[in-house]
Amino acid sequence: MDFGDVSLVDLSIGLEPGVDSEPFPPSVEYYDHEQGAALLAANLQGQGYDVSAEDFPDGSALAWEEVTAIPHAGTHLDAPWHYGPECDGESAKTIEDVPLEWCCGNAVVLDFTDLDAGAEITPDGIDARLDALDHDLTAGELVFVQTGADELWGTEAYLTEFPGMGAAATKHLVEQGVKVIGTDAYGFDKPFTEMGRRYVETGDDGELWPAHLAGREVEYCQIEKMANLDELPRRTEVPVVTFPVTIADASAGWVRPVAMLDG
């Protein structure tokens, strides 16, 4: 494929050690080229070969890193297993079972940057924005929720200053054939603090992760911690690929969504 006339837009946030925007931040141990020579030599010595670090050209070999991270750090795609062990009475899919066909196609970007932090996105809110775009959803389209929260990445405010999806809104999209819904916020639901506040005030357990738990009734995947949706030149018919890393029997996989636009 010739990408000469295609503009690529990275819609992801990477893994960053110690960042304030992650409650469970990744840790990364870095090995430079000289350390790599020593470690590779030790590996060969363990297999019975007389090799030292100095035997590599200039005593320098390969750099690498050791990463400790949950699959929900950075931009990632949640599998149905994340929401519960079953979906509509069937065993829920783990990340390696998510069909690749779900994870590519045309995306629609819905702008919710006007909502206050902690607000809940509703079916009416979704329909109003689709009407403003003069767009009817079709099965297989991806929907990305733009909150503007990615501008807060790197700060603690990223964890709390965004609106979130409600259960009804999630079902509303999935029932129209949408299998992947993304957000540029920390979480798909409202912020943890808002869900906790609502639960304490009402005693209603439906206030706890309602959008996630809708996935026990309707089958879908969600992408959290997207970025740069404001850089897309249009809101509909945005070709994207969002293939996740597969991890055996896991609830999520890291993903780097990329939009591919002509011209």
pLDDT number for residue 163: 98
pLDDT tens string 43-84: 999 999 999 999 999 999 999 999 999 999 999 999 999 999
pLDDT tens string 106-158: 999 999 999 999 999 999 999 999 999 999 999 999 999 999 999 999 999 99
pLDDT number for residue 127: 98
Residue type at position 121: I
Residue with tokens 């020579």: 37
pLDDT tens string 215-229: 999 999 999 999 999
Residue with tokens 């009804």: 168
Range 86-111 average pLDDT: 98
pLDDT number for residue 262: 87
Is the pLDDT confidence value at 4 over 90?
Answer: no
Is the pLDDT confidence value at 252 over 80?
Answer: yes
Average pLDDT over the chain, rounded to an integer = 97
Q: Give 178's DSSP letter.
A: -
Q: Per-residue confidence at 263, pLDDT binned at 50, 70, 90?
A: low
pTM recorded for the entire structure:
0.94
In the chain, the domains with their CATH numbers are 27-68 (no CATH), 76-262 (3.50.30.50)
Per DSSP, helices labelled H in 123-218 are 123-132, 167-174, 192-202, 210-213
pLDDT number for residue 2: 56
Q: Per-residue confidence at 5, pLDDT binned at 50, 70, 90?
A: confident
Residue with tokens 């009475």: 89
Question: Within a 10 A sphere around the Cβ of 180, how many other Cβ atoms?
Answer: 27
Packing angle, helices 167-174 and 123-132, rounded to 10? 50
Question: Within a 10 A sphere around the Cβ of 143, how many other Cβ atoms?
Answer: 22
DSSP states along 81-139: GGT-SEETTEEPP-GGGS-GGGGEEEEEEEE-TTSPTT-EE-HHHHHHHHHHTT----T
